[in-house]
Amino acid sequence: MKKEELTAALKQIGLQEGMSIEVHSSLSSFGHVEGGAETVIDALIECVGESGSIFMPAMRFSPAIALTEEDKTMGITTKIRILPEDAPRTAMGVIADTFRQRRDVITGAGIIRTAGWGRHAEEAAKGGLDYVIHHGGKALLLGVDIYKLTAMHYVEDLLPKEIGDIFAPSEEMRMKYPPEEWLIEAGEPPVKAWYTIQEMACEHGLVKEGYIGCCKYMFFDIWDVVSIYERELETNPLQLYGLA
């Protein structure tokens, strides 16, 4: 796929000049793209223009690391290494990693970082995704699903303790895998709650879906979808996670 084809397809989806977008992506989902990740980024920039903004994840996480038998016996379900600030490759994917390392992109500090380009790029360092969530921003998922949508975490202060405790590592786990070096999770709820939210959003016609070549996309107003999660956490959290 060439840049001109990709740009035209993105505009057909609904990307417009001046738009603020949160992008999560898988380069491999496109098949072959001439110029790779840079081409995808350039196409996104051409669509929103200098009056628009692009936000991508810049979290310092490795891909999930295979669990040892000892890990499984301890009850660990996820093991991820926290990477150095300047790590060239992370679990965020090659498009997001390439985006973060551009000279015209601003990246926040800490482990849970956001990278931003364009008119409101500085907001990435100030408040992560706060700006794009609360100012009519759009989410564009390219070859990935709602479980990559970082904005969902921004309402999880409503998550009941009974749910949060499912993921919390024990003291034994924390001793073996210090939290300044590792992200460890200790369990999984019976239901993948975010897929329920995705299904609800699609049923309400809030999500535009289709394909760019062989890459499946989803495009929607961030708050339209995140607010469904917020409402369910306020009114029905245990059932949402299959715990009631």
Q: Quote the pLDDT of residue 230.
A: 98
Q: Quote the pLDDT of residue 244.
A: 85
0.85 surpassed by pTM: yes
32, 165, 215 from 29: Cα distances, Å: 9, 34, 5
Q: Which strands form 138-142's sheet, in the order they lie side by side? A: 106-107, 114-118, 53-57, 20-25, 138-142, 215-221, 208-212
Provide the residue range defining the domain that includes 138: 3-240
Rounded to whole angstroms, the Cα distance separating 15 from 134 reads 18
Are 144 and 24 in contact, with CB atoms under 8 Å apart?
yes
Number of domain units in the chain: 1
Q: Tell me the average pLDDT of the chain.
A: 97
Q: Does pLDDT of 75 surpass 90?
A: yes
pLDDT digits (tens, 9 = 90+) for 184-216: 999 889 999 999 999 999 999 999 999 999 999
pLDDT digits (tens, 9 = 90+) for 38-72: 999 999 999 999 999 999 999 999 999 999 999 99
